Amino acid sequence: MPAGNEAPVELKVMSSEGLGRSLAHIQTPDGVVKAKDLVQLKAAVPWQRPDLFLYTGTANPGLADIQDALAAVNAAHLTLVADPSKEEDPWNYHLYWESSHWTLYNHNKTATGARGKTEAPMNLGAKLTAKALGRVSSGSVVWFDPPLAHEIVQALLPPPTANSPHLAAQLTTDRTKAMYVLGSKLSGQTISYAWFKRSDIDSDVQTPKEIGAGCSPGSSYPLRTEWVDQTSTDATSAALNKYAVKLAKLNGWFLLQSSALSKRQQFPYTLALRPVSGGPDIGQNGKTPVGEYDLYLTGTPTSKTTPQWVYVLNIDCEGNGSVVWPYEAPPDKISQPAAKFPADDVDILSPIIKLPGYPFPVGPPLGTDTYLLLTTSTRLNNYHALEFDSVVSRSVTDNPLEELLDDTSDGMRLAGDPIPTDWGVWAMQVQSLPSPAQPKQ
């Protein structure tokens, strides 16, 4: 819309040069805008979509039927895997529900992780019996993976109403569309459930001993969430809903950093970690042994570089998000307030800037860690609201960008209001590792 009382000008975007600039043809004849005029986008509306799909199975049996199956497994005296997600807990058979019947899959995985010849899955029928389970070879370890009872499925992630939030976690009946599927295990008489990353479970990926429980060895997304013991319908569904929303928060941030909404045209810096103990800077796809690190901005600024407010969010391999810069220090140290960089008259044209303050620790859980560098021309009123499990209540704000970031950290669908374009998110992934072995004296 041009200035004054002129009629609106219609432009047809032909190609994009980032979020804030595009090449366009003038559609309105005799408009105020002429060829080669510069028109800059000031705000954009994010695309509405559910961000994360989860699958619980189809035609799941009821609580009573699942208890009958549990009794059959106990009667067959099977040796059950303690935790199927762990590489240190190998298993030979996978026993699970498939739409209308129980299926036994001969995994035939050796203790060293080598996969041998497998047989076709066996249909054990709609009702599990000890006789049918006689097909399990003697001495084998079984992953008994019963489905979630349909009474509990019905209580999961209810559809939004006029008075309820629109969650970014959504159930799907199409397993191929799901990023996470429900898995379970049996310990004694207790069935426990967790959300498993579908691609990992389909590829027989397990968590190696040296990385955090539930972490995926090749992904920034967790292999699984925490286990949830089946108790009452309300308690079980509430706990599973909690972890589904947590996955949606994680997914929201990963989608946000790769979205066209966060093109970083104006800010020339990326992030680097420098070990306090000495050594070179660690950047994208680097390795961070347990220890303390300082944060640096590295890049190639120019005299036209505009200082931005800087925030750094760390997402560990278990999917926990925490702000690592700025931060609130313990009582015996001084907290680091938010700040803009490059600092006026100090860091202008500097290719490397140390973010001031105390070093931060890298420790368990070990695995794929993601550092998100958020830059914006507008200071955030409450940057702790970026944390996934923040105990700080959301602030009241009229800043559309802050509302978008709050929604992302709350696991909600993206806000539908126009947001400014003068911000960006850049992601760096590193592998956290145990400390190197000390040389013998």
The pLDDT of residue 409:
56
Q: For the chain, how many structural domains are there in total? A: 3
Cα–Cα distance between 248 and 7 in angstroms, integer?
43
Residue 441 lies in a domain: no
Range of 211's domain?
A: 52-256
Share of the chain above pLDDT 70, in %: 74
pLDDT(111) > 50: no
- What would the pLDDT profile of 318-345 be if each residue is shown by its tens digit? 988 889 999 877 788 888 888 999 987 6
Which of 162-176, 290-304, 391-405 is modeled with the greatest confidence? 290-304
pTM: predicted TM-score of the whole model, two decimal places: 0.80
Is the domain of 147 the same as that of 247? yes
The pLDDT of residue 113:
44
Residue 228 lies in a domain: yes
Residue 2 lies in a domain: no
Is the domain of 91 the same as that of 174? yes
pLDDT(16) > 90: no
- What would the pLDDT profile of 411-422 be if each residue is shown by its tens digit? 555 555 555 556
Residue 24 lies in a domain: yes
The pLDDT of residue 274:
96
The pLDDT of residue 399:
59
The pLDDT of residue 152:
95
pLDDT(43) > 80: no
Task: Tell me which amino acid residue 360 is.
Answer: F
Rounded to an integer, what is the distance from CA 21 to the centroid of its chain? Answer: 30
pLDDT band, residue 390 (cuts 50/70/90):
very low
More confidently predicted of 439 and 357 = 357
Residue 302 lies in a domain: yes
pLDDT(438) > 50: no
From 236, 256, 276, the end of a domain falls on 256
The pLDDT of residue 314:
93
Is the domain of 206 the same as that of 279? no
Residue 367, token pair as written in the block: 């695995």
More confidently predicted of 248 and 19 = 248
From 193, 227, 256, the end of a domain falls on 256
Is the domain of 29 the same as that of 96? no
- Is cis: bond before 434, omega within 30 of 0? no
Mean pLDDT within 126-141: 92
Residue 231 lies in a domain: yes
Cα–Cα distance between 219 and 180 in angstroms, integer?
13
Is the domain of 345 the same as that of 252? no
Rounded to an integer, what is the distance from CA 101 to the centroid of its chain? Answer: 33
pLDDT(114) > 70: no
Is the domain of 37 the same as that of 56? no
Task: Tell me which amino acid residue 346 is.
Answer: V
pLDDT(168) > 80: yes
Is the domain of 315 the same as that of 411? yes
- What would the pLDDT profile of 68-96 be if each residue is shown by its tens digit? 999 999 999 999 999 999 999 999 999 99
Is the domain of 271 the same as that of 221? no
pLDDT band, residue 440 (cuts 50/70/90):
very low
pLDDT(34) > 80: no
More confidently predicted of 187 and 408 = 187
The pLDDT of residue 331:
80
Burial class (CB in 10 A: 0-12, 13-18, 19+), 281: middle
Is the domain of 68 the same as that of 187? yes
From 256, 290, 315, the end of a domain falls on 256
Residue 212 lies in a domain: yes
Taken in order 380, 384, 390, 394, is the CA torsion positive or negative? negative
- What would the pLDDT profile of 262-274 be if each residue is shown by its tens digit? 555 568 899 999 9
| Cβ neighbours for 154, distance < 8 A, ≥ 6 positions apart | none
pLDDT(351) > 50: yes
pLDDT band, residue 13 (cuts 50/70/90):
low
Is the domain of 252 the same as that of 265? no
pLDDT(142) > 70: yes
Residue 333 lies in a domain: yes
Mean pLDDT within 303-312: 88
pLDDT(292) > 60: yes
- What would the pLDDT profile of 189-241 be if each residue is shown by its tens digit? 899 999 999 999 998 899 998 899 899 988 999 999 999 999 999 999 999 99
Residue 124, token pair as written in the block: 């054990």
Residue 327, token pair as written in the block: 């931060």
Task: Tell me which amino acid residue 292 is.
Answer: E
Is the domain of 142 the same as that of 26? no
Residue 173, token pair as written in the block: 């009946």
Q: How is 23-43 classified by DSSP, letter by letter?
A: EEEE-STT-S--TT------E
Cα–Cα distance between 427 and 312 in angstroms, integer?
10
pLDDT band, residue 256 (cuts 50/70/90):
confident
- Burial call 290-306: b when 16+ CB within 10 Å, e when fewer: ebebbbbbbbebeeebe
pLDDT band, residue 112 (cuts 50/70/90):
very low
The pLDDT of residue 160:
67
pLDDT(120) > 50: yes
Is the domain of 250 the same as that of 304? no
pLDDT(282) > 50: yes
Mean pLDDT of the chain: 81
pLDDT(358) > 70: yes
